[in-house]
Amino acid sequence: MPDQSQAPGRMRYLIPLFLFLIMAGFLFKGLFMDPRHIPSVLINKPVPEFNLPTLYDPEKLVSTADMKGKVWLLNVWASWCAACRAEHQVLNTIASMGIVDIIGLDYKDEEADGKRWLQQLGNPYKEVLVDKSGRVGIDFGVYGVPESFLIDAEGVIRHKFTGPLNYPDIKGVLIPKLNEIRGVER
Amino acid sequence: MKTVKTALFIGLFLMSGFAGAGALSSYSFDSKEEEQAFRELTAKIRCLVCQNQSLADSDAELAGDLRREVYALWKEQKSEEEIAEFLVARYGDFVLYDPPLKPSTYILWFGPFFLFLIGCYVLSRALKNKTEDKEVELTQEDQQRLKSLLKDDNDNREATK
């Protein structure tokens, strides 16, 4: 008899331990989460309207409508952005693979600095747009450079890469997403 | 030496006031009230670069750009809701310090009350158990046994005296 009544009583002392372990589990996961990674509200929304001059020909304007019918990757970068330097080789690789057109958005940058950057590191972009004031960046919800948006032929944003793209992203995210967008069976 | 220190302290103290005022000083306002209203509005918006600072306080470049946008909308007589809508459409609910009430934020808004109710339940049960321990109803048999025991006890005491 005494053993039976004692068993649940003893278990009760373990309740705080379990609660602690649950909390510790959440906090432990929190250690590996990036508070800077804010989920974009623009996923599955149409691309914001823009009409921007290009870096190599300021007379030439490229607008949202011009990009209709193409699957493209919009890469927001700047010559003052340190993380962009590491990312640039990845962009060069993507360009050489020829899997998707990359359009650069030179964000809040000096044209001369942007041109020098591309001369030094190579130009993976099909076209480079200039957003000197950062106004278009705001419409895209840009809060830290680099950021990249994968846009489908309908002009809908299908995926956002926050922070620099890396090599595993190409195989792990970019190619599967492109297949999904283009309706390719894997 | 002491006067130099005091002067330095007062100087730095005064400068700290300017540092806070700097973020909004480039905007012109018709009145003090208007400036105060704009300050209150931007204090409700989170700077996405330095996330523990509001748009009113942050010196980040993006915060400056967003302040300019908010100022332009505000000068167009846009309501606070319209300005919030503009920002949320681009940056999500995270940009507002006060999250809106909707299914994905229910746990945020009602979670604490839910935990409070659990706490109340646990507390009431604990208290009930305690009071139940005290009120043990005795059957007649028990009463008689108790009486006889007490009587024995008294008898014993008498005997030891």
Please report the pLDDT score of residue A149 as a whole number. 97
What's the CATH number for B2-100? 1.10.8.640
Could you tell me the pLDDT band of residue B123, with boundaries at 50, 70 and 90?
A: very high
Q: Inform me whether the pLDDT recorded for B137 exceeds 80.
A: no
Please report the pLDDT score of residue A20 as a whole number. 94
Would you kindly state where each structural domain of chain B is located, as residue ranges? 2-100, 105-160
Could you tell me the pLDDT band of residue B30, with boundaries at 50, 70 and 90?
A: confident
Please state, rounded to an integer, the average pLDDT across all residues of chain B: 84
Q: Inform me whether the pLDDT recorded for A3 exceeds 60.
A: no
- Best mutation site among B65, B93, B104, B105 for testing chain A: the one with the most A CBs within 10 Å? B65
Sort strands A101-107 and A72-77 into parallel, antiparallel or unpaired.
parallel
* A167 to A94, A105, B124: CA distances (angstroms): 9, 21, 58
Q: pTM surpassing 0.90?
A: no
Please give, rounded to a whole number of angstroms, the shortest distance from the CA of B48 to a CA of chain A: 6
* A112 to A109, A115, A118, A123: CA distances (angstroms): 9, 5, 10, 14
Nearest by CB to B92, which of A41, A133, A139?
A41
Which top CATH class is A51-182? alpha beta
* Close Cβ partners of A14 (under 8 Å, ≥ 6 residues apart): none
Q: Which residues 16-75 in chain B show a CB within 8 A of chain A?
A: 48-49, 51, 61-62, 65-66, 69
Q: Inform me whether the pLDDT recorded for B82 exceeds 90.
A: yes
CB contact under 8 A, B62 and A134: yes
Percentage above 90 pLDDT, chain A = 82
Confirm if B9 and B23 have CB atoms less than 8 A apart: no
Q: In chain B, what residues touch A42 (CB-CB under 8 Å)?
A: 90
Residue A163, chain B, CB below 8 Å: the answer is no
Please give, rounded to a whole number of angstroms, the shortest distance from the CA of A97 to a CA of chain B: 32
Q: How many inter-chain contacts (A to B, CB under 8 Å) are there?
A: 38
Tokens read off for A49: 């309207």
H/E stretch holding A127 reads: strand A127-131
Per-residue pLDDT reduced to its tens digit, A93-140: 999 999 999 999 999 999 999 999 999 999 999 999 999 999 999 999
- Best mutation site among A42, A138, A160, A162 for testing chain B: the one with the most B CBs within 10 Å? A138
Residue A70, chain B, CB below 8 Å: the answer is no
Nearest by CB to A141, which of B61, B69, B91?
B91
* Nearest-by-CA chain A residue for B69: A135
The arithmetic mean of pLDDT across residues B65-72, rounded, is 93
CB contact under 8 A, B51 and A36: yes
Unique residue bearing structure tokens 């340190």 = A82
CB contact under 8 A, B91 and A38: yes
Residues found in chain B: 161
CB contact under 8 A, A138 and B92: no
Could you tell me the pLDDT band of residue A186, with boundaries at 50, 70 and 90?
A: very low
